[in-house]
Chain A
């Protein structure tokens, strides 16, 4: 379990990193937190000619709140920085709640936001959470730059729309609307394990108690973060009654996701989990939304 030989490069600026990647293309691997790459190298599953280490790029590590716009997160921001950030707690509370589910402290002290997104493991938390939060990602190459919406970024298991010369620079999470509410819940066999099933629900609760903008995103429900648009649409314009929640959960779990069987659970059991967890996430969202409305009402 030792890696094959490779050339190690540690650029000191993003521009220098992008130049190297442009030169070496698919033969070079970005090294971010290394929590997935290093095992892949050690197992010799990956044998890149070059490894470009991003850990010296402090300019990619930041958490900024920009009023009127949202939260901006640098691609090399580590999980533990997100976990302990007041900005995240206040302005992206679902991400704040989801991060402790990511593996264990030691891994969270190394793993990065950009690394998790670019690796595109369907069982990972942050692809699902940022998709539910309607985030967008900034991709840059030596010659160009583009924004991609989270739901358009993931195309399959460990597959994204990123080109070999691109680097994930930043994640932007928009500010929530008034009445915005959310629920996130996952289950794994042991705490911190690869998730069996997870669901992130976001919605807006109108002052009259009806639901709008519902979005349901599943973690490990398919080869990429999977939205359940029909189940979500079925909730919009209605009060979030238990009956509607159960119906939406059923539709998402049994019609819209496509979970795999593996050594930990069958596909059928994963649907059962999705059914159960969707109900809980939506009830949590209802509770938070109701509290938000009454707070706003009290403030007015």
Chain B
């Protein structure tokens, strides 16, 4: 057997390149004669375009092209719908995707109206200032509830309202459950908008080779293969004429998945028009308006429970803000709808949502992708039950967990992958228990909190759980090849944005082929290297591409062993693959290196036997029948500074179960990054719009992201419940950390202010809103020494 490397915390292959600045990012691409694009964007949230005058811009120094909607021909077809609506009975879906440039009207601030291509970005921006547009301003729809009530001037003129979709899913009979309930609690929750804000903004570089008739596009995308296929269609080329490269990407989190952004269509088109390479790099200001947003829901929720706090049913009616367009279909609200069910047995469920068009940037997934909202609702509802029935918060969760013998567990509604929401496997109580133990839950409540309160310190504890649907289809593929050097090449179509694929995929191949992880080269995100697949999203890389890599590596292992047995004249079951060699187990002197075997498999004379293939190479695909469900619990202790309401995280514990772990260090890194973003969502990040739809804090001075100082040290615990849905038993983990932080903070703060019965219903929070909430609860009347 080879040395075990799957499951080990192996250092990342890619880190040296990244840390030394040797990794290629899209904006690093330099080409002779490179031109630069800039965009004129709408200053208004909603306005008719009466006329556009580009003459002065065309005369501006260094300008090669100025393009408006009437100049770009077939690119003015509406962008493709990325995910069609799932097959749910009675579903309403009004599909409205954007066009590359706005023509008759603009529907959000920042919507592109014209593109200038010039010798430099400076000159392009000078020309942008010389374009004159006559607008007729229209009423702006911003509030999602008001938007659905609006009687005229809709975001889309051809619709009869701002309704983008309406969906109802049901399990059991909620009204019956309600009638039989001991207690019914209703609450209204809001969860506001944010952005992903990756450190690298978007960038597209396109190079049309007139002689070779090929288009090469470097793109900060999570889905290079769909971009290639789509671009070929839009530009009248064959797929083979288009090469899309998604090189190293400085964070994406879903925001680089939205396809097609206008710039992704226009920059390649401009390169073909001008027969020169063109680059556009999004600046930070543009990022706030032109890259997809996420979040923005209002929930009216109701929970029916028996005397012991067992859930009898839940009713949730919510509105989801999709912004001006709905290219991403219903993925987000369906995620919210499904993730609300959490780890709990909920016998009856009525969930209804409406999606509103508003005059804001379109909404698409961002890490968590709507899951946060559902988890916020269920976790807050359980807290309200715990409070009203005087049950401990951890205990109310434990009582409602789906028991370990109930898997596969069917929630009897449809998930985002169109399959029924069936949890493949799970064992929830150990995760909850471990989180309680790691944070010393019982001791804190019994001893620590009363002592600290007596010292005048406001401290509170929270504990929440979540499920994370991961690893959905349709499929991914991988090709594994033993190279002449004896090193191993792994090629797959998924893009990579810092998840550690260069290491975790290498571990899978190294395990099968008995080589060192550093001797496995992973290539991703280049459509000339591998051209089947969809992309990196929905916590699916390890599950879907990982299993394809594992299958291809296993197939190559078979080939290596058969060839070695043949050449060494021993039987196949006597061969081990160790240290880059095939050895005869009984006589390790008898061996061949993988390089020698690769050469032997690719002979220059003689014949490859009929029915065999040259080389030590295999390509395999993996398509799961449905997603696999990871889960976990987070616990935290927060302190609020007296008088200033500043929040400090004293302890943070994450216990996560993502099935079999390929690299626990990488999983922990994913958790840390997720929690950091969760903290941002909960306490720092909020887009604030003025009444025209302009973002008041469209900069990183006022849109606050967590820094190293805001992210606490975390204790991580792992449990492993293998998935039965794939041979490796893995589940995804990309979004786990980010999902439950909102309700966790809310619960811990409620606990810190239990004397005034604080109940936080809105996310995000900040010190100012926290102070106002506490004031409303009448803190002034309660002196701190009265606590017990």
Contact = CB atoms under 8 A, between A and B. Distances in A.
Interface of A: 1-5, 43-44, 187, 189-191, 193-194, 196, 262-266, 268-269, 272-273, 275-277
5 contacts: A190-B709, A190-B710, A262-B696, A265-B766, A266-B772
Given A190-B704, A190-B710, A269-B771, A2 B684 contact: no
A129 to B, nearest CB: 20
A276 B643 CA distance: 6
Given A1-B283, A4-B129, A264 B768 contact: yes
Contact of A263 (B129, B643, B696): B696
Interface string B286-318: 100000000000000000000000000000000
B476 interface: no
A269 B126 contact: no
B704 A189 contact: yes
Contacts of B642: 276
B125 interface: yes
Given A2-B122, A44-B129, A263 B697 contact: yes
B302 to A, nearest CB: 31
Interface of B: 121-122, 125-126, 129, 283-286, 642-646, 684, 686, 688, 696-697, 701-702, 704, 706-707, 709-710, 766-768, 771-772
Contacts of A264: 702, 766, 768
Given A189-B704, A264-B766, A4 B126 contact: yes
Contacts of A5: 122, 126
Contacts of B286: 1
Nearest to A193: B704
A266 B643 contact: no
A276 B43 CA distance: 41
Contacts of B283: 1
Contacts of B772: 266, 268-269
A189 B686 CA distance: 13
A1 B285 contact: yes
B701 A189 contact: no
Contacts of A194: 701-702
Contacts of A196: 767-768
A190 B768 CA distance: 13
B688 A2 contact: no
A194 B644 CA distance: 16
A193 B706 CA distance: 12
B768 A269 contact: yes
Contact of B644 (A3, A268, A277): A277
Given A5-B122, A190-B684, A269-B771, 17 more contacts: A2-B125, A3-B122, A4-B129, A44-B125, A187-B646, A190-B706, A193-B704, A194-B701, A263-B686, A263-B688, A263-B696, A264-B702, A265-B766, A269-B645, A272-B771, A273-B644, A276-B643
B43 to A, nearest CB: 13
A276 B644 contact: yes
B321 to A, nearest CB: 19
Main secondary structure of the interface of A (DSSP, over half): loop
Nearest to B702: A263
Contacts of B697: 263
A39 B534 CA distance: 39
B749 to A, nearest CB: 16
A266 B768 contact: yes
A277 B766 CA distance: 18
Contacts of A275: 643
Nearest to B36: A2
A187 B771 CA distance: 14
Contacts of B122: 2-3, 5
A190 B708 CA distance: 10
Question: Lowest 10 CB-CB distances: which A-B pairs, in order?
Answer: A276-B643, A265-B768, A1-B283, A269-B768, A263-B688, A2-B122, A263-B697, A2-B125, A269-B771, A187-B644
B312 to A, nearest CB: 41
A297 B43 CA distance: 67
A49 to B, nearest CB: 14
Given A263-B696, A266-B772, A277-B644, A191 B767 contact: no
Contacts of B285: 1, 43
A134 B105 CA distance: 56
Nearest to A4: B126
Contacts of A44: 125, 129
A178 to B, nearest CB: 32
B641 to A, nearest CB: 9
Nearest to A279: B643
Contacts of B645: 269
Contacts of B126: 4-5
B62 to A, nearest CB: 11
B285 to A, nearest CB: 6
A277 B642 CA distance: 11
A224 to B, nearest CB: 20
Contacts of A273: 643-644
Contacts of B643: 272-273, 275-276
A185 B312 CA distance: 52
A2 B707 CA distance: 27
B392 to A, nearest CB: 33
A35 to B, nearest CB: 11
Contacts of A191: 707, 709
A122 to B, nearest CB: 15
B691 to A, nearest CB: 14
Given A44-B129, A190-B710, A194-B701, A269 B767 contact: yes
A196 B766 CA distance: 12
Nearest to B707: A190
Contacts of A3: 122
A282 to B, nearest CB: 14
Nearest to B283: A1
Most central of B122, B125, B129, B644 by chain A CB within 10 Å: B644
A189 B765 CA distance: 12
B31 to A, nearest CB: 20
A277 B641 CA distance: 12
A264 B697 CA distance: 10
B767 A265 contact: yes
Contacts of A276: 642-644
Contacts of A1: 125, 283-286
A127 to B, nearest CB: 18
A273 to B, nearest CB: 6
A263 B771 CA distance: 15
Nearest to B686: A263
Contacts of A193: 701, 704
Contacts of B646: 187
A44 B686 CA distance: 25
Contacts of A187: 644, 646
Contacts of B767: 189, 196, 265, 269
Contacts of B702: 194, 263-264
A233 to B, nearest CB: 24
Nearest to B282: A1
A104 to B, nearest CB: 9
A4 B125 CA distance: 8
Contacts of B129: 4, 44
A204 B129 CA distance: 56
Contacts of A262: 696
A254 B418 CA distance: 58
A275 B706 CA distance: 27
Nearest to B687: A263
A265 B686 CA distance: 12
A211 B57 CA distance: 66
A26 to B, nearest CB: 21
A269 B769 CA distance: 8
B109 to A, nearest CB: 15
A127 B283 CA distance: 32
B121 A2 contact: yes
